[in-house]
């Protein structure tokens, strides 16, 4: 039996030495958010002033502003709010090797995520952005942990990140996960405590990958830190242990994996598994004592579990909330992070993130104004507690007034800067496990399937079902007999799911890993839309303002459609 991990004095001293300076910078920035926002925007524009995008949008003229208010006004007049498709032509030129197009010089990598058109979004990441902004925020992030849990890095570390390299742009620049790249820059004194190498994420088969990740973690009773963005990943990893603990114990005893791992990965991953008969026997005893051992049993010294806790995360949290010892383990919000930008993270036990105005320039639109043609854009210092806003971001990596389509809510304040937490995607974009499925993608998939079978549908609608971690598709077909209608329902449900996997790479990834379950299909009555509208009008909706999306996460409206199922 191992003893409780000690406080790692050298590690904590190193993290504190750097982290306390990062924390001081954040406190200064949060004391003067308006002035720091002004300086940040000016710095971003200056850095990319001589790019083609900068010339096209008159960055030089904007920078001639003599006051913060004048700079903000000039910036808004010169650049309309962006979505990715407006930036894609510039990125495509960079991908073939052109320099100084969207950002100064060339990116050292691209972070990829799904887009509205089915084509992935490629977010350029410069060396400066990765090594300074991302790296400095990581240093502050680590510092926050040891302030709350001094033993956080006293034992082994289980951190799930994305693949470092998923492929290459035409000019040879890598694309993949920023988190995967950052792992390479973790100081060796911390990196040697990782339970697995980053290459474990390159295992193609999801079940095998989960098995390997948890086998490597289970060999260490002294695991003290566990971080992964999506809580649905924790659910899948715990299920893997529940189903395979005895086999995992055998592997730990023998120091060899019983599952196939492709070459050359096996040569990289195998040395991380050590023969440990004593630990294997301990796991077997846990299996005998408890029918289904929990993390509080096999990781008794876990200090920190860090994932997303906002938005839909609570649905997945409920699936494992009773399986950890929360008197010892601190369950922390990972922070407001997206592929496009790392906005900020909590600085205490709160789920609310503190934004970093010294790194990015933020704008906000009140949720009530999202459908208005003339929106009022607010500064960080103008947000009000309890109000919800849509976020627009400007970064040094080529995102200018970029609409994140995220709704956030303002909580308290950190000195003079608002704290925020993520609520949901804006209507028309839903996400259960990070797939970010767009309404336009769903409509396109249904239309493609209908065209393939030479059919037209009177009506269809889709809902994200957070309780089941799946999508529910509702279809109305032209009048036909019951048997044929049921056949078409099964066909459309299956093929729309397949089309969505082709259109949205993150939807495909979540479906293949079973974090997103198989969608369910429901057959609607004839005239379903009219009947649904009538139900809404009876509930007080105004006829002239009646509208809704064809893809939603709205249990109330889904309940109305459930009344219209045959």
DSSP labels, 474-499: EEE-SS--HHHHHHHHHHHHHHHHHH
Instruction: Decide which of 425, 459, 475 is a domain's last residue.
Output: 425
Name which of 340-354, 399-413, 535-549 the model is least confident about: 535-549
pLDDT at 424: 81
Cβ pair 411, 349 in contact under 8 A: no
Please check whether residue 56 lies inside any domain of the structure.
Answer: yes
Please check whether residue 327 lies inside any domain of the structure.
Answer: no
pLDDT at 118: 62
Please check whether residue 355 lies inside any domain of the structure.
Answer: yes
Instruction: Decide which of 410, 425, 440 is a domain's last residue.
Output: 425
pLDDT at 117: 61
pLDDT at 313: 78
Backbone angles phi, psi at 304, to 5 degrees: -140, 130
Per-residue DSSP letters for 114-159? --TTSSPEEEEE-HHIIIIIIHHHHHHHHHHHHHH-TTTTSSEEEE
List residues bridging with 377 in a β-sheet: 365
Cβ pair 240, 517 in contact under 8 A: no
- Arithmetic mean of pLDDT, 88-100: 96
Residue 437 clears pLDDT 80, i.e. is over it: yes
Alpha-carbon distance of 405 to 163, in angstroms, equals 25
Residue 540 clears pLDDT 80, i.e. is over it: no
Most confident of 242-246, 507-511, 535-539: 242-246
With left for phi above 0 and alpha for psi between -120 and 50, is residue 253 left, alpha or beta? Answer: alpha
Same domain, 370 and 449: no
Same domain, 51 and 99: yes
pLDDT at 50: 96
Please check whether residue 389 lies inside any domain of the structure.
Answer: yes
Same domain, 512 and 441: yes
Mean of pLDDT over the chain: 91
Structure tokens at 78: 């010169």
pLDDT at 503: 92
For residue 30, the surrounding DSSP H or E stretch is helix 9-31
Name which of 40-54, 161-175, 277-291 the model is least confident about: 161-175
For 50, other C-beta atoms within 10 Å of its C-beta total 12
Question: Residue 331: which residues within 8 A CB-CB, separation 6 or more?
Answer: 305, 306, 307, 309, 324
Same domain, 392 and 499: no
Question: Residue 399: which residues within 8 A CB-CB, separation 6 or more?
Answer: 82, 87, 123, 340, 341, 393
pLDDT at 314: 76
List residues bridging with 475 in a β-sheet: 460, 523
Cβ pair 131, 107 in contact under 8 A: no
- Arithmetic mean of pLDDT, 109-127: 83
Each residue of 263-307: pLDDT tens digit? Answer: 999 999 999 999 999 999 999 999 999 989 999 999 999 999 999
Instruction: Decide which of 388, 409, 425 is a domain's last residue.
Output: 425
Q: What is the 3-state secondary structure (H, E, C) of 221-269?
A: CCEEEEECCCHHHHHHHHHHHHHHHHHHHHHHHHCCCCCCCCCCHHHHH
Alpha-carbon distance of 462 to 497, in angstroms, equals 11
Alpha-carbon distance of 407 to 366, in angstroms, equals 9
pLDDT at 147: 94
- Arithmetic mean of pLDDT, 174-194: 84
Same domain, 22 and 123: yes
Number of domains in the chain: 2
Per-residue DSSP letters for 65-125? -SSHHHHHHHHHHHS--B-HHHHHHHHHHHHTT--SSSSSS--SEEEEE--TTSSPEEEEE
- Arithmetic mean of pLDDT, 403-414: 93
Same domain, 421 and 454: no
- Provide the 8-state DSSP code for 353: E
Cβ pair 401, 80 in contact under 8 A: yes
Same domain, 434 and 558: yes
- Arithmetic mean of pLDDT, 144-158: 95
Please check whether residue 462 lies inside any domain of the structure.
Answer: yes
Confidence of residue 543 (pLDDT cuts 50, 70, 90): very low
Range of the domain at 382: 9-127+336-425
Alpha-carbon distance of 184 to 195, in angstroms, equals 14
pLDDT at 157: 97
Evaluate the CA torsion angle 438, 499, 90, 399 in order and state its sign.
Answer: positive
Cβ pair 484, 438 in contact under 8 A: no
Alpha-carbon distance of 229 to 338, in angstroms, equals 10
Please check whether residue 449 lies inside any domain of the structure.
Answer: yes
Peptide bond into 264 cis (omega under 30): yes
Same domain, 394 and 419: yes
Same domain, 14 and 86: yes
pLDDT at 173: 96
Alpha-carbon distance of 70 to 305, in angstroms, equals 45
Residue with tokens 């023969």: 275
Same domain, 115 and 43: yes
Question: Residue 329: which residues within 8 A CB-CB, separation 6 or more?
Answer: 296, 302, 303, 304, 305
Same domain, 412 and 466: no
Residue 545 clears pLDDT 50, i.e. is over it: no
pLDDT at 315: 72
Please check whether residue 265 lies inside any domain of the structure.
Answer: no
Same domain, 363 and 442: no
Please check whether residue 312 lies inside any domain of the structure.
Answer: no
């Amino acid at each position: 039996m191992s003893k409780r991990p000690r406080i790692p004095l050298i590690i904590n001293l190193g993290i504190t030495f750097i982290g306390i300076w990062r924390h001081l910078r954040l406190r200064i920035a949060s004391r003067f958010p308006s002035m720091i926002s002004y300086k940040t925007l000016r710095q971003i524009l200056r850095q990319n002033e001589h790019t083609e995008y900068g010339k096209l949008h008159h960055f030089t003229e904007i920078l001639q502003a003599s006051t913060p208010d004048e700079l903000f006004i000039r910036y808004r007049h010169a650049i309309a709010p962006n979505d990715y498709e407006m930036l894609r032509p510039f990125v495509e030129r960079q991908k073939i090797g052109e320099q100084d197009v969207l950002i100064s010089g060339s990116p050292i990598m691209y972070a990829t995520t799904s887009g509205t058109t089915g084509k992935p979004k490629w977010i350029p990441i410069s060396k400066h952005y990765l090594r300074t902004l991302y790296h400095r925020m990581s240093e502050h992030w680590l510092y926050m942990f040891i302030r709350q849990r001094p033993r956080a890095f006293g034992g082994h570390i289980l951190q799930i990140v994305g693949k470092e390299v998923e492929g290459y742009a035409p000019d040879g620049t890598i694309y993949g996960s920023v988190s995967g790249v950052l792992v390479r820059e973790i100081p060796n004194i911390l990196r040697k405590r990782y339970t697995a190498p980053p290459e474990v994420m390159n295992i193609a088969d999801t079940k095998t990958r989960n098995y390997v990740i948890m086998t490597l973690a289970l060999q260490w009773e002294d695991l003290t830190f566990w971080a992964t963005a999506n809580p649905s990943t924790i659910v899948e990893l715990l299920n893997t242990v529940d189903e395979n603990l005895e086999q995992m114990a055998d592997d730990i005893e023998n120091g060899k994996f019983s599952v196939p791992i492709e070459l050359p990965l096996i040569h990289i991953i195998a040395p991380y598994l050590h023969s440990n008969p004593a630990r294997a026997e301990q796991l077997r005893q846990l299996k005998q004592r408890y029918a289904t051992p929990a993390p509080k049993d096999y990781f008794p010294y876990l200090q920190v579990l860090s994932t997303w806790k906002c938005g839909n995360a609570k649905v997945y949290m409920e699936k494992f909330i009773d399986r950890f010892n929360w008197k010892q383990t601190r369950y922390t919000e990972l922070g407001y992070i997206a592929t496009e930008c790392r906005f900020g993270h909590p600085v205490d036990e709160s789920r609310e993130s503190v934004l970093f105005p010294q790194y990015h320039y933020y704008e906000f639109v009140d949720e009530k104004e999202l459908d208005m043609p003339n929106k009022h854009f607010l500064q960080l210092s103008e947000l009000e507690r309890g109000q919800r806003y849509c976020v627009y971001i400007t970064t040094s990596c080529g995102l200018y007034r970029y609409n994140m389509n995220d709704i956030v809510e303002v909580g308290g304040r950190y000195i003079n800067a608002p704290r925020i937490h993520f609520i949901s995607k804006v209507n028309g974009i839903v996400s259960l496990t990070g797939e970010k499925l767009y309404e336009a993608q769903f409509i396109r998939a249904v239309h493609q399937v209908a065209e393939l079978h030479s059919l037209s549908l009177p009506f269809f609608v889709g809902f994200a079902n957070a309780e089941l971690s799946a999508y529910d598709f509702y279809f109305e077909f032209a009048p036909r007999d019951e048997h044929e209608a049921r056949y078409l329902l099964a066909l459309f449900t299956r093929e729309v799911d397949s089309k969505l996997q082709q259109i949205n790479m993150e939807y495909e990834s979540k479906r293949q890993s079973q974090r997103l379950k198989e969608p369910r299909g429901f057959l609607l009555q004839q005239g379903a839309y009219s009947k649904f509208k009538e139900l809404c009008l009876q509930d007080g909706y105004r006829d002239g303002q009646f509208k809704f999306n064809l893809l939603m996460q709205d249990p109330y409206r889904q309940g109305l459609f459930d009344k219209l199922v045959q």
